[in-house]
C-alpha cells in the first residue's frame, strides 16, 4: 500500500498538521542496509508511538546506524547515541531519514522510495 499524507493515514502526525510532511523528500529508516547511517528528519505515526521513539533517543537531527538484520530480516538492530536498539521494520518505516551514507561519509547508492514504508512487503 502506497502512503500519501492524509488525516486518515497519518492521524495526528505533527508533520501533516503543519503541512510539512516530508514523506516524499526522505527515505524510511526501514530501507537502510547494515552499515549505512543517516540523520533523522521526521518521526511519523501516532503521538504515543512518536513519544516512545523520542524516549529511546530517536529525535530529529540524531545519527542512526544500522548494525544488522535478524536472520529473517525482522527486527533490525540500530545504534543510536551509543546504544543498541532493535525495532521491527514496520516501526522503522515511520522514521524518515536523509539519504544514507555507508559509514565513511560517502552517500550510498540508494533509491528514494515514495511514501514512507507503508508499501514495504510484509513478512508472513
Q: Is residue 113 part of a domain?
A: no
Q: Is residue 103 part of a domain?
A: no
SS percent in the chain: helix, strand, coil, step 5 = 20, 25, 55
Q: Is residue 82 part of a domain?
A: yes
How many Cβ atoms sit within 10 Å of the Cβ of residue 67? 14
Mention every residue, 6+ apart, whose C-beta is less than 8 A from residue 122.
90
Q: Is residue 105 part of a domain?
A: no
Q: Is-contact 55 106, C-beta < 8 A?
A: no
Res 19 pLDDT > 60: no
Q: Is residue 63 part of a domain?
A: yes
CATH of the domain at 75: 2.30.30.90
Q: Is residue 86 part of a domain?
A: yes
Structural domains counted in the chain: 1
Closest-CA residue to 79 (of 99, 103, 98, 96) = 103
Distance CA 114, CA 111 (A): 10
Q: Is residue 115 part of a domain?
A: no
State how far the alpha carbon of 53 is from the alpha carbons of 31, 46, 110, in Å: 18, 11, 24
Q: Backbone dihedral region of 67: left (phi > 0), alpha (psi from -120 to 50 degrees) or beta?
A: alpha
pLDDT-derived band of residue 99, with 50, 70 and 90 as boundaries? confident
Q: Name the more confident of 80 and 19.
A: 80
Max Cα distance, the chain (Å) = 40
Q: Is residue 102 part of a domain?
A: no
pLDDT at 112: 42
The average pLDDT across 63-90 equals: 93
- Residue span of the structural domain in which 44 resides: 7-97
Amino acid at each position: 500500500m502506497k502512503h500519501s499524507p492524509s488525516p486518515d493515514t497519518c492521524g495526528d502526525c505533527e508533520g501533516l498538521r503543519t503541512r510539512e510532511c516530508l514523506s516524499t523528500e526522505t527515505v524510511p529508516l526501514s530501507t537502510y542496509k547494515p552499515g549505512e547511517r543517516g540523520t533523522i528528519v521526521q518521526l511519523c505515526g501516532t503521538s504515543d508511538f512518536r513519544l516512545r521513539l523520542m524516549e529511546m533517543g530517536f529525535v530529529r537531527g540524531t545519527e542512526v546506524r544500522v548494525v544488522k538484520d535478524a536472520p529473517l530480516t525482522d527486527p533490525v538492530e540500530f545504534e543510536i547515541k551509543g546504544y543498541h536498539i532493535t525495532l521491527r521494520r514496520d516501526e522503522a518505516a515511520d522514521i524518515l531519514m536523509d539519504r544514507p551514507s555507508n559509514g565513511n561519509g560517502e552517500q550510498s547508492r540508494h533509491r528514494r522510495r515514495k511514501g514512507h514504508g507503508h508499501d514495504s512487503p510484509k513478512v508472513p
